Chain A
Amino acid sequence: MVEQSCVNCGKRVEWIVLGINFSLFLLKGWFALLSHSKALLADSFESLVNFVITIVVLVCLRMASNNADEKFPYGYGKVEFLASGIVNMLLMIVAIVYVFVSCSEMILIGPERPPGLIAIVAAVVSIVINYIAFGYGRCVGEKLGSSAILANAQINLTDLVTSAAVIVAVVGSRLGIPRLDHITAIVICVFIIKVTLDGVKKAIRGLMDASLHAEEVHIRDLIENIEGIERVGAVRARLAGRNLFVDVDIFLPSDWILSKGLGTVSKIKNVLCKKIENISDVSVQLLPLAGTDSPMHKTDHPSGHANSD
């Protein structure tokens, strides 16, 4: 049983992390300007990235809860994929530009002066705060069993690591490796490029309705043993933001009457809605067992569905 206080934490945690990321961005950005540390500047950009992406997801969740209408009969869930794909792409471009600028600066100009020790203060503050935020997020995520919150907490952990790298960079460049600050900045940006690229890929997978293997196998397992179902045909699942749409074909004895078949359908719906979170719609097609194949092949279009058996 989940405690009420944990549920409350779950509602708050995203907003709290949002505030933390934005404050850290401001703090690190300001200190980066004061101390002339490129690594700290890149680190503050990472906090900005986290902030912007969280904002986009939150705004889209609001939008996605708008109900379906005539123009968009499946609802607005996919706006989340669209927005996060675009934002990740733009941030990736910024990071790429920053890598180029840093490289040319490092090679052509070289460091003018070592970064100020004040950068270390900001990095230490960032480490402490991120550690607290990570612990908080992990606690809430584990108690509520939410992978989204856990993934968010992971972001704080990576931010912590980059801040630690900033300390190494600042100390190192003062101790006689003058280019370490630039190199760290570039490494952080390359890391940001990787993270945002993953975000773009994930968004594209969602937008293409890529297959959700784990969910499909799970759904198949759940309904296979319902009585009367002779065979489960194609199972397709797709995500629109957080909403899961499921299409299932089931084969029933061909002499059953429809009303009996509809009883099986409602059993399927009950089981799936109970066992799987986020299901927003289950469509079940009833097919007779007598040797017929999935109906997808009967449409005369080349993109007819490949049977997943």
Chain B
Amino acid sequence: MPEKDKCVECAEQLSWVGIWDSAFLALFKGVVGILTGSRALTASALYSIHDVISGVAVLIGFKVARKPADREHPYGYGNAEYIVCVFTSILLLCATVFLLADCIRIFFLGEHSPPNIAALMAAIVSVAANEIIYRFNICSYKRLNSPALLAHAKHHRADVISSLAVVVAVVGGALGYHFLDAAVAIFEAGHLLYLSVELFHQGGSGLVDRAIKESDVSLIRQFLSGMAEVKEVKDIKTRQIGRSVWVDLYVSLPADKTIAEINTISARIRYGIANKLEYLGNINVICE
């Protein structure tokens, strides 16, 4: 199907285009926002930075995590994705807190800077660029049904909305509502706080070896209970290493079987579970 191949290619390019686009917009809006004193535009720049971070993390998840395990990293490179998430989200969090503090100060002191045409232009550019990327993402999401693409699309939509809010703030400022800029910025910074904490939590709990979804664990349990040789399942420990799932199974098998027979049973267990779970990294079958 050439149609679908085109979509796959488009989706691959999109993640790069999306990252460069967001990086450029972040820089552009950040510089204009600081020069014109528009806090709302600066907050909107942070949204673009958030897009860059999540885009880069997903790319790393796909590229680096596929590197096979080696001597230095016997468990593979999956956690690189989480590490990027955690360290960058902390930086984003710091920037947002500074911005929020600044906005609150301005809001209460009433030192509003006058609305600026440059801020308006930057916001309009951002709305247009993000809307285009959003459309492309949604298109390939519909064809390929990939949740990562949907997440990308949502990020760009959020960026569109935040830039639209900047437009409102500047226009409102021109009409005499000077407080609008700081108010929009406070609102956006609040949302950014939520986003960066979410990003941190996602990466952080992955790094502390969070278990996989409970429904997946019960899939494993169900499969094992269907095997006559497995007398008892003592424990199932799972952890996510980036995109791949690592499983330690503690089972008791018939004590009178030979090691060779045990090995065949384990192989069947491995094979069965490998068919049930996506992104399986490794299964240890440990007899107790």
A residues neighboring B (CB under 8 Å): 70-74, 76, 78-79, 81-82, 85-86, 89-90, 204, 207-211, 234, 236, 238, 240, 247, 252-259, 261-262, 265, 283-288, 290, 292, 295-296, 298-306, 308
Known: A72-B208, A82-B86, A86-B86. A303 touches B76 (CB 8 A): yes
Known: A208-B77, A283-B248. A288 touches B263 (CB 8 A): yes
User: Which of these binds chain A: B21-29, B32-40, B161-169, B279-287?
Assistant: B279-287
Q: Is A258 a contact partner of B77 (Cβ separation < 8 A)?
A: no
Report the nearest A residue to B204, measured CB to CB.
A82
Q: Is A79 a contact partner of B280 (Cβ separation < 8 A)?
A: no
Interface residues on B, range: 35 or more
Q: Is B71 a contact partner of A298 (Cβ separation < 8 A)?
A: no
Most buried by A among B79, B83, B86, B282: B282
Q: Is A298 a contact partner of B271 (Cβ separation < 8 A)?
A: yes
Q: Is B259 a contact partner of A252 (Cβ separation < 8 A)?
A: yes
Report the nearest A residue to B209, measured CB to CB.
A74
Q: Is B274 a contact partner of A73 (Cβ separation < 8 A)?
A: no
Q: Is A306 a contact partner of B208 (Cβ separation < 8 A)?
A: no
Q: Is A258 a contact partner of B72 (Cβ separation < 8 A)?
A: no
Residues of B within 8 A of A253 (CB): 259
Report the nearest A residue to B87, measured CB to CB.
A89
Report the separation of the CA atoms of residues A258 and B255 in the bound assembly, to the nearest whole angstrom.
5
Q: Is B83 a contact partner of A285 (Cβ separation < 8 A)?
A: no
For chain B, residues 242 to 274, give those with C-beta under 8 angstroms from any C-beta of chain A.
244, 248, 250, 253-260, 262-263, 266-267, 270-271, 274
Encoded as 1 (CB less than 8 Å from any A CB) or 0, chain B from 77 to 91 comes to: 111101100110010
Q: Is B69 a contact partner of A301 (Cβ separation < 8 A)?
A: no
Q: Is A73 a contact partner of B209 (Cβ separation < 8 A)?
A: yes
Residue A298 contacts which of B211, B256, B270 (CB distance < 8 angstroms)?
B270
Q: How many A-B residue pairs have CB under 8 A?
A: 173
Residue A76 contacts which of B208, B255, B259 (CB distance < 8 angstroms)?
B208
Report the separation of the CA atoms of residues A247 and B74 in the bound assembly, to the nearest whole angstrom.
11
Q: How far is the CB of B176 from chain A (nearest CB, A)?
A: 39
Q: Is A208 a contact partner of B259 (Cβ separation < 8 A)?
A: no
Q: Is B66 an interface residue (CB 8 A)?
A: yes
Report the separation of the CA atoms of residues A166 and B116 in the bound assembly, to the nearest whole angstrom.
49
Report the separation of the CA atoms of residues A292 and B267 in the bound assembly, to the nearest whole angstrom.
12
Q: Is B190 an interface residue (CB 8 A)?
A: no
Q: How far is the CB of B1 from chain A (nearest CB, A)?
A: 25
Q: Is B79 a contact partner of A207 (Cβ separation < 8 A)?
A: yes
Known: A86-B87, A210-B73, A285-B284. A74 touches B260 (CB 8 A): no
Residue B259 contacts which of A89, A247, A256 (CB distance < 8 angstroms)?
A256
Q: How far is the CB of B252 from chain A (nearest CB, A)?
A: 9
Report the separation of the CA atoms of residues A301 and B237 in the bound assembly, to the nearest whole angstrom.
19
Residues of A within 8 A of B11 (CB): none
Q: Is B113 an interface residue (CB 8 A)?
A: no
Known: A73-B211, A208-B83. A286 touches B287 (CB 8 A): yes
Q: Is B74 a contact partner of A301 (Cβ separation < 8 A)?
A: no
Most buried by B among A82, A89, A208, A247: A208
Encoded as 1 (CB less than 8 Å from any A CB) or 0, chain B from 46 to 81 comes to: 000000000000000000011111111111111110
Assuming A74-B239, A303-B65, what are 4 further A-B pairs, CB within 8 angstroms?
Answer: A70-B211, A262-B255, A283-B284, A303-B76
Q: Is B73 a contact partner of A299 (Cβ separation < 8 A)?
A: no
Report the nearest A residue to B283, measured CB to CB.
A299
Q: Is B154 an interface residue (CB 8 A)?
A: no
Q: Is B207 an interface residue (CB 8 A)?
A: yes
Known: A73-B209, A258-B257. A302 touches B68 (CB 8 A): yes
Q: Is A292 a contact partner of B263 (Cβ separation < 8 A)?
A: yes
